[in-house]
Amino acid sequence: MDDFERAIRVVFTQDPSISPQVREQATKYIDAVKARPDSWRFCWEQFLQRECLEVKFWCLQVLPASLPQLPAEARAELRVGILAWLRDVATVGREEVAIRNKIALVYAGLVKSDYPSSWPTAWTDLISFLDKGPHLIDMFLRVLTTFDQEVISEEVLRTPEEKQRAHTIKHAMREGDVARLAECWFVVLGSCQATAPQLVSECLKVVAAFAVWVEATTLANEKFLGAICSLIGEGMPFSGEACDCLGAVLSKKMPAGKKMQMLDQLRILHLLGERCIHRGCRDVGVIEKEAELFNTVAEVVLDAYLELRVETVAESARVAQAAWSFVEQLMVFVLWFFSHQDYQIADSVEPFLTAFFSKVRVFCAGGGEPAPGEVGPCHSVNLDVVRPMMQQTLQLTIQRLAYPDWFRQGDPDYEDDEQHIAFLEFRRSLTKIYKRIFLVDEQMGFMFIQASIAQLTQNLASVRPMEVEALLYLYTETGEIVKDVALYLKANGALAVPFVTLVECEALVEVEHWLVQLALMDVYVRYARIFAQLPELMPTYGNRVLRAFVGPRGVRSNDRRVVARACYMFARFIRTAKKEVVPFTADIYEALKDLLVVQYIPSSILQQAQAQAGGSPGAAGIARSAPPSAPAILVQGALKVEDQACLFEALASLVAALPASEHMRPALRRLLEGPVGTLAELSSEAAAARIASDPQGCAAWAARSVDAIGTVSKGFARAQACSAPDWAAALQVVGRLLEQRGQLFDGDGGMSRSTLFLCRRMVDVLGDSFLGPMDALLPFLYASSQADLLELTTFAHQVVCQHQKKTQPLIQKWLHVLFLRPLEAFKQLPEDSEQLKREKFELGTTLLLLLKEIAQRCPVSLLEPMLLQGNSSPLASELVGFLLLGLKDPQELKALLYAASAWSALLELASAPGSNVEALAVLPLVQILQQLLWSIARMDFRDIASQKVLGEAAAILRALTSKRRLPEVLHQQAMEALRQALVAALPGLRSEQGPRALCEALLQEAPLKDVRVALQQCASDWLRDCGIG
């Protein structure tokens, strides 16, 4: 073994004992060989001489890339060598497939470079070897396949030069070589069936590839198509490839008239029906290929018909009629495939059915009427002709929609299974077909669904559950098609009749299959508004309908998939039919009350579930993916937390809709007594030992109870003031628990998150009356080590926006907590990654937004500590420093806007008539001006937010320099500070016009609009003088 062979073996081997240095040396060695001027000759000689597969493969791999750069004489020499190898070596057939493929690639490359100018006999040279046996036929087919992939195929992205070269080669081949190749294909198809069936399969693939561009008559003739149809009819192993080949030949693009003439002359319909359909065949693969063939032909003929019917040539009407007749006859075969029990076969003809029914309204009489002055189509079809096709398709659609027995619905192990994904896509396609048929003939669609549901309810015991689900699914989808559902849900309406038929069938609610129950719930939810339009339905059938949701086959089902869906769908049903269901509220509560119990779950189980869920609070209280307070833990006889929440919300909605407070308040207290009772129990001295033994488990239990209270509140609004005492009582229990057990519950049980959720809800439910209870809850929320300070700051902003000046006492009392606690977290947040930087920026921006809102709604709460306490107060210095920080970065316009807005509101109040304006001296006015002007000059004026920043800056400047408001001394100091700030912010400004105009506008107490224009002019002049922007 020499160095050359050793280097190639090293490069190809996967032996881990070979060091990277050795591999690098070997790679450099063979790269040097590749770079030799005579590398092609060296590689060809080595290929002929060596026995090592890796060496032979590498040598052939080098040749194709070097062909375009080789001189014509070198390529001619290589052609001679290739032909000699085919004649002398390939006949034996001892080379590996990889080598044969590489030889084919080299041959195709030579054809691309030299045919027809330098090598006009490229194809006849190859054909001359065919009589030497099957190994040469194999090489012949490999070369053609590779030639199509590398040179001709339009599926490969090619440069304009490559496209032009392919066009030249195809044109030359059509002169005679294509006919010679076709004759060879015909011989292979006829002579190799018994001795070499694999060659027949490969030959059919080649013919299918070439059929795209060769002359139609070369392949579309009685002789050739007869041979292909015979291969299909005999059901040989290669019949699938024969179907593909025939489809490729018949789908070749040509004018519609010529296409129909060709199909008629070749008696294609007769050939298809006689030889290309095996009705009794047990090989699903064969029938699937035949279905694909019929689908292809049907699509071709449909396209031809659609083209012909709008032509104005004299013969077009006759040919269009012939094309339509062809479609009608093909439809019989298509529907037979569509009716097959194997969905893959039905799926194979779905594309044609989808295309057909999407065009029916176009070619049926009365559809697509021409505009005045335009010529109408030469052929149309009466809807009565198409209606039987639609009716048959609808009947079959229910069967095809039904889930097959092998389908594992709802099984996560099969979510990514290709067969399952394919069936779901097929089901979606069938739904589209149904909708298109419905849009063509709405009356027929309604009659079909009414008749099908009537037949279902009469013969329910004999119908497969999967077909029951399919029909219910179609009925639900019907509501998505019609524009005005309410119109059809009136008495005797087209959608009301089948709904009444369904609710009258008590046996349907008792069907044990879970898919049927889910489909029935979907129907009830989709058409829930019918109970308002037909008031007599709920008193008559209400118990039956509600039992589907809350009975043993709903939320109490043994199948968890049904339980979760039933809880969710029940909540949706109540939202639509609330008024009609309200009389059943007490009965529903009694049926569900044991499921509303918030269960205690030991912390040991919680920890296991949380470990599986993953996630933990981020740095300094920024939650990234915090686990739920109660993971998906199944307690015997209990619901998951999210399912229980759906029931709480649904019942709360009903309770809130009760007609009078004397009914509503007792019902609300019953709904709250479970979670409130749990909190009261945990507050008692008797629970101390239990909490001490499992503080985390008890904290999570309390958190889930608080969540339940918050969920119940979703059904209530501020307008229902009569319920306020009950909410206040619940909040009192929550506050007492936090006061007594807050430190024990400061873990990862979720109490902080749950309390924040409840507080948010109470803002909406209680309005201003919640400000008192919130005073007791805020300390716990901010003191918790698990507090999500971003969410808390957002909540504080929500409270200020909602209650405005009424929040002033609360803010004055707790500003040091509302501001300093998030600020501390902000300072501690690292910036080691883009994600951490974004988190820090988001917290800082949210805190600035809160300060801005406080400054605008109740500015005294901020200004008082800033002015009275001075810089000696940590709160004052931190407030001033953070608001200055917000002005620092001109690239962060959001932060800049919030900080400028806050300063604007504060300074407006501080400089207002009647204020102690001398106290302004406590504020760093010079720093404010310098930082503000510096950032304004450098911000992006293309951003719309920049104009808002300019407006706030103008207000700040006017407040700080108002001669009318400020004492003379303070006014002079402010104007001098402004001039210095302009000089510092605009270094290199050559013109004084902008700053002068700004100062004049301020001295004259000009409107803010003029001040803003002057300020922007200063920035624009500076940017121009500095050559920026």
Segment 31-64, tens digit of pLDDT: 999 999 999 999 999 999 999 999 999 999 999 9
Mean pLDDT throughout 158-178?
A: 94
Sequence-distant (≥ 6) Cβ neighbours of residue 1021 within 8 angstroms = 986, 989, 991, 993, 994
pLDDT tens per residue across span 1009-1028:
999 999 999 999 999 888 87
pLDDT reported for residue 910: 85
Which has the closest alpha carbon to 219: 230, 208, 232, 231?
Answer: 208
Mean pLDDT throughout 850-863?
A: 93
pLDDT reported for residue 95: 85
Take residue 231 and report the two structure tokens written for it: 């291969």
Q: Is the peptide bond before 37 cis (omega within 30 degrees of 0)?
A: no
- Integer-rounded Cα Rg, in Å, for the chain is 41
**Residue 746 reports pLDDT greater than 80:** no
Take residue 458 and report the two structure tokens written for it: 């009469």
Which position has the higher pLDDT, 654 or 739?
654
pLDDT reported for residue 469: 96
pLDDT band per the 50, 70, 90 thresholds, residue 615: very low
Mean pLDDT throughout 663-684?
A: 93
**Residue 183 reports pLDDT greater than 60:** yes
User: How would you class 61 by CB atoms within 10 Å of its CB: exposed for 0-12, middle for 13-18, buried for 19 or more?
Assistant: middle
pLDDT reported for residue 623: 44
**Residue 639 reports pLDDT greater than 50:** yes
pLDDT reported for residue 369: 55
Q: What is the mean pLDDT of the chain?
A: 90
* Kind and range of the H or E run holding 783: helix 771-783
pLDDT tens per residue across span 886-922:
999 999 999 999 999 999 999 988 888 777 776 677 8
The DSSP string of 322-367 is HHHHHHHHHHHHHHHHHT-SSHHHHHHTHHHHHHHHHHHHHHBTTS
Mean pLDDT throughout 442-452?
A: 94
Contact 467, 398 (CB under 8 A): yes
d(CA 713, CA 653): 9
Contact 531, 577 (CB under 8 A): yes
**Residue 810 reports pLDDT greater than 90:** yes
Buried b (16+ CB within 10 A) or exposed e, 358-397: bbbbebbeeeeeeeeeeeebbbbbebeebbebbeebbebb
Using CA atoms, how far residue 65 sits from 57, 140, 509, in Å, is 14, 22, 71
pLDDT reported for residue 747: 60
pLDDT reported for residue 619: 45
pLDDT reported for residue 786: 76
User: How would you class 570 by CB atoms within 10 Å of its CB: exposed for 0-12, middle for 13-18, buried for 19 or more?
Assistant: buried
With the CA atoms of 805, 809, 813 and 815 taken in that order, what torsion angle do they form, in degrees rounded to the nearest 10?
0
Which has the closest alpha carbon to 979: 1024, 1022, 930?
Answer: 930
pLDDT tens per residue across span 342-353:
889 999 999 999
pLDDT tens per residue across span 190-200:
999 888 999 99
With vertex at residue 895, the alpha carbon angle to CA 891 and CA 898, rounded to the nearest 5 degrees, is: 135
**Residue 617 reports pLDDT greater than 70:** no
Buried b (16+ CB within 10 A) or exposed e, 951-987: bbbbbbbbbbbbeebbeeebbebbbebbeebbeebbe
Q: How far apart are the first and last CA of the chain?
A: 67
Q: Is the dihedral of CA 81, 83, 88, 90 positive or negative?
A: positive
pLDDT band per the 50, 70, 90 thresholds, residue 163: very high
Mean pLDDT throughout 97-115?
A: 95
| Residue 747 falls in which region: left (phi positive, over 0), alpha (psi -120 to 50) or beta | beta
Contact 304, 260 (CB under 8 A): yes
Percent of the chain scored above 70 by pLDDT? 94
Which position has the higher pLDDT, 610 or 115?
115
Which position has the higher pLDDT, 335 or 909?
335
